Structure 1
């Protein structure tokens, strides 16, 4: 993607529409620092139009009243088109946020495809109605679409997080306004084109690129019934505060500082090869990244050497180069943040084992070397605060109980993993750590199971029947005693 991509319209209510404001978002390549695209910046007036369209489509339109089979057919066409255009989506995302292209194909485009596919499977078999024996007579319990959804997604995995919100919302019969990040608006135009061609009715979906101020206006809009937000803890708190004014339902998927616990019986090579890709995943810009690696104290130096070798093996450079393993951070502010934390870590007494600065061979771009700190104490800021860059901590422990305490000693609780020769032992560790997702001798986020956080990592769940249910209201219908109808 070398040519400047320009869009002059906004996707509102299923149609490409002239914006009501005049502000423009300039999309900057994190590799070159030069523009790669321009799109309109949605205004509050554009939000009003989008919410009004969604409100009318939900209250009066065919989508919530369509049969499940009709909605499945439309969303299947969306899914199939994403599959057909996944390389275009991956390349567009890489050009905007710096994700290496080979990673972007799998973790940006194909992962989004998997989310759409999983929700189609869940929607087909979901119990929308069930009969129960009540204390005062028979009951009919219904699940009905929650209404107008404001879906706010970040720049690190824009299609993946959009799918996590739109797929269940649309299949459940909701209408939606998708607010995309100003760093990554270009791929959303591909999604808009896909949804329009798939036959979504008018008003069902709008897509608005905008900054935080306009996002807050959308989140607090009285026409919105539910907010689904992915982002930082600080922004999540503000979303919850603003949405509470209207008592809008809220799902928050927030930050993480996840621990990979390597037990003494683990095979070193297996553990290192298993953890390393998820420690520096997405250039370190992933909420589920395994950024705290816990190792037996007696083998700390051995593990430090092995993980340093993995860091050194990552080719750093142009994210559109198929050989690149680590690309630039999304913006100069993220580069500055990571470099500041590297300085803080040194001041705190941690030792740099690998990386620690800008790559010497790159004259431009917002790059930071994959950095590994050794001898980290869990009280240090680099171990407690989410850096959202390629900075990883190696923390020694003396026994399994201490490892569990360290893993659990965090304001976050989003993800984690354990590596051991004894799977049952690993499952026991997984049960003890208070975090929403935990893997044993692997790492994954499975779209058929619930994903979300404990503690400051969020509220509610995405994926699985639990995530699908977040887009439905529960209605109890009391039936007359003795009723035996269908």
Structure 2
């Protein structure tokens, strides 16, 4: 059993204000797999004070970018060396299937490398072209924002954490990373890796804490920027706090993404791709394409293929190699997903496969039966609200304009996909979909490109040069 009886504050392991540890249960059978102390407001004060002191003293923000880049390279190498351990930790505490946690590790390397490339090419300071009508000369600098509160959810902890702390640290900020209690074990190991990197005192803290303590952190007067990934509801609250205090803020929020299968698409190929695009991480993914839009003349073909796919997927112990879908992270999340399945039946959607029953033999865990609904109207709640579980809805469309209209008929705009035999045509359709990311024929996310959402899916972007720039302020010096 893994135990963390101290908190990682400012680069050191310190005694917590509340020494009583929290039990970390396995989503598979609800047995206790670890214990970890949780941060309280007094611990937040200590972490923010350390971050503020390190920033004001310039121990990191005035370190040359080349040295900051070298430190992040060390971190990236350490994480890659421990990829198998990281994958096992996340599967144990999250219930994410082992195939997913292992497949995610190369993506973490790609994500970090994209930030590192951006930092190497970044215009940290540049002279502006001379103004022929003025004798003045101007220099534009990109400087660290200050103290960053990075707040992440439980569903993909390492990816969410590194997408924020890497660019924040590369830019010279001091960071307080607030993680979910459910991820206390994997994020405790993240803190161990950061300790081995050898950052200056005060620059980084990792605090597992509840929602109330999280709000205390983002409301803290000594925090200059909030970087948040999580639900749209929580994002609205954070945005209101940031607006009231005029903090810088970036928000990566929920989604209800559409996969548009065009009439000329190879249905077998599209459905095979949706196995990963729609059901990755047990469906507990903000980018999951859980609305499948199918042309009426091929609708039943798509529905039948999805039924066959979903029924072929093994649900069970996330540590078993042939498991594709593991348990939901908590009992309340399990019940939330099951309640949406019951709602879909009440709304009149056709239950193609699955249902609210718990899979046989898995009653001890937080399991949900993967479910497909057909004859879904896009106005139904199961088509409009983020379920965050292995539940797919299939919506029929009449023509291409109707498909685009339905895809855009959502308060969200985070991700989406287009499937077609004609890539040029698919690109034209993708341009019409109002989301921050669109993949064509199952392409993987490009980490050099900006990632984030339209509408209620967020504010700002992560990844690459744009994501790095989000942790800087412009300064113009005129001579």
Q: TM-score, normalising length from structure 2?
A: 0.97
* 2:307 pairs with 1:308: yes
1:391-433 CA-partner distances (Å, limit 9, x unpaired): 1100111100000000000000000010011111111111111
* 2:98 pairs with 1:96: no
Residue 214 of structure 1 corresponds to 213
> In 2, distance between residues paired with 1:32 and 1:382?
28
> In 2, distance between residues paired with 1:181 and 1:331?
12
* 2:66 pairs with 1:69: yes
Residue 409 of structure 2 corresponds to 409
Residue 192 of structure 2 corresponds to 193
- Superposition map of 1:76-225 within 5 A: 76-107=73-104, 109-133=105-129, 136=134, 137-225=136-224
Three-state SS of the structure 1 residue aligned to 2:5 is coil
> In 2, distance between residues paired with 1:226 and 1:343?
41
Residue 239 of structure 2 corresponds to 240
Residue 293 of structure 2 corresponds to 294
* 2:454 pairs with 1:458: no
Aligned CA-pair RMSD? 1.2
> In 2, distance between residues paired with 1:478 and 1:69?
26
Residue 9 of structure 2 corresponds to 12
**Is the contact made by 1:220 and 1:245 (CA closer than 8 Å) also made in structure 2?**
no
* 2:465 pairs with 1:469: no
Q: Which runs of 4+ in 1 moved over 4 A?
A: 134-137
**Is the contact made by 2:307 and 2:352 (CA closer than 8 Å) also made in structure 1?**
yes
| 1:258 shift after superposition | 0.2
**Is the contact made by 1:408 and 1:433 (CA closer than 8 Å) also made in structure 2?**
yes
- In 2 relative to 1, CA 369–443 (structure 1 residues): closer, same or farther, beyond 3 Å? farther
| 1:113 shift after superposition | 2.6
| 1:100 shift after superposition | 0.5
Count matched residues.
475
| 1:138 shift after superposition | 3.5
> In 2, distance between residues paired with 1:168 and 1:143?
13
| 1:272 shift after superposition | 1.1
| 1:311 shift after superposition | 0.5
**Is the contact made by 1:327 and 1:367 (CA closer than 8 Å) also made in structure 2?**
yes
- Superposition map of 1:252-331 within 5 A: 252-331=251-330
> In 2, distance between residues paired with 1:5 and 1:141?
48
283-292 vs 63-72, which moves further: 63-72
- 5+ residue gaps, structure 1: 480-486
- 5+ residue gaps, structure 2: none
> In 1, distance between residues paired with 2:143 and 2:59?
15
Residue 27 of structure 2 corresponds to 30
1:85-115 CA-partner distances (Å, limit 9, x unpaired): 01101100110110001210122x3322322
**Is the contact made by 1:452 and 1:461 (CA closer than 8 Å) also made in structure 2?**
yes
1:332-388 CA-partner distances (Å, limit 9, x unpaired): 111101111111101111011111132123231010111110111100000000001
**Is the contact made by 1:115 and 1:167 (CA closer than 8 Å) also made in structure 2?**
no
Residue 43 of structure 1 corresponds to 40
Residue 483 of structure 1 corresponds to none
Residue 484 of structure 1 corresponds to none
Residue 441 of structure 1 corresponds to 441
